[in-house]
Amino acid sequence: MKAIRKWSNIYALLFIISMLITVLLFRRSMFEISIVFGCAAIVLLILLIKQNQLLKSAELIRDNCILVVPSAVITTEDGKERSVAEHTVVSVFGILMGSKLYKWGCDGVHGVRLYSVIIEKAYICLTFGDSTESTRVCLLHGLVDEQEVLEVKEKLWRETAVTAKVSGW
């Protein structure tokens, strides 16, 4: 989340500087150079808008938190596996792993959806995707008693309509 906010601030600062240089060069009748800086300002504005959308999605996930875990393992459909040892937030709307975002349930019927949740003794696995690709994320959850597991299962069902399968408890 901090990295997303940091890049948003960098893009905003660069956009402001680029616009100021564009106006300054335009007023000094350096039209060709001002066009170059104007184009750079447009590109920076587009990057700023995309970064702010990413920041809003990250805040949405953080504000609707179901579970916070210290690490995760991500597996895609083709079997590629990648470990991530970062602060991970599981939410109603997706997963936030450091500055990486996985969203579901935000793009309508044909968008990415949460398909299944399996809660084991040491980890929780979430499978999500669209009609073309699915991703499986396994998180070391750190839940120690059955009541916490049942609360997470209930919250997931109530908020996402996906029934978590609990085994090993």
Under a CB-based contact definition with an 8 Å cutoff, are residues 118 and 167 in contact? yes
- Average confidence (pLDDT) over 97-126: 82
Query: Any alpha helices (H) in the chain, and if so which ranges?
Result: 2-27, 31-63, 146-160
Residue 40 has pLDDT above 60, yes or no: yes
Chain-centre distance of CA 60, in angstroms? Answer: 9
Q: Position 89: which residue type?
A: V
Residue pLDDT, tens place only, 83-101: 665 678 888 888 888 778 8
CA–CA dist 83, 95 (Å, integer) = 15
- Joined tokens for residue 52: 């702010």
Say what the pTM is.
0.75
Given CA atoms 120, 124, 125, 127 in this order, what sign does their dihedral have? Answer: positive
Sheet architecture: strand order including 100-103: 65-69, 88-91, 94-97, 100-103
How much is the CA Rg of the chain, to the nearest whole Å? 21
Q: What dotted CATH number matches 65-166?
A: 2.30.29
Place of tokens 């750079």: 40
CA–CA dist 126, 137 (Å, integer) = 5
- For position 34, what pLDDT does the model report? 94
- For position 53, what pLDDT does the model report? 94
Higher pLDDT, 110 or 119: 119
Under a CB-based contact definition with an 8 Å cutoff, are residues 123 and 146 in contact? no
Percent helix, strand and coil across the chain, each to the nearest 5:
45, 30, 25
Q: Which of 29-38, 76-85, 101-110 has the highest mean pLDDT?
A: 29-38
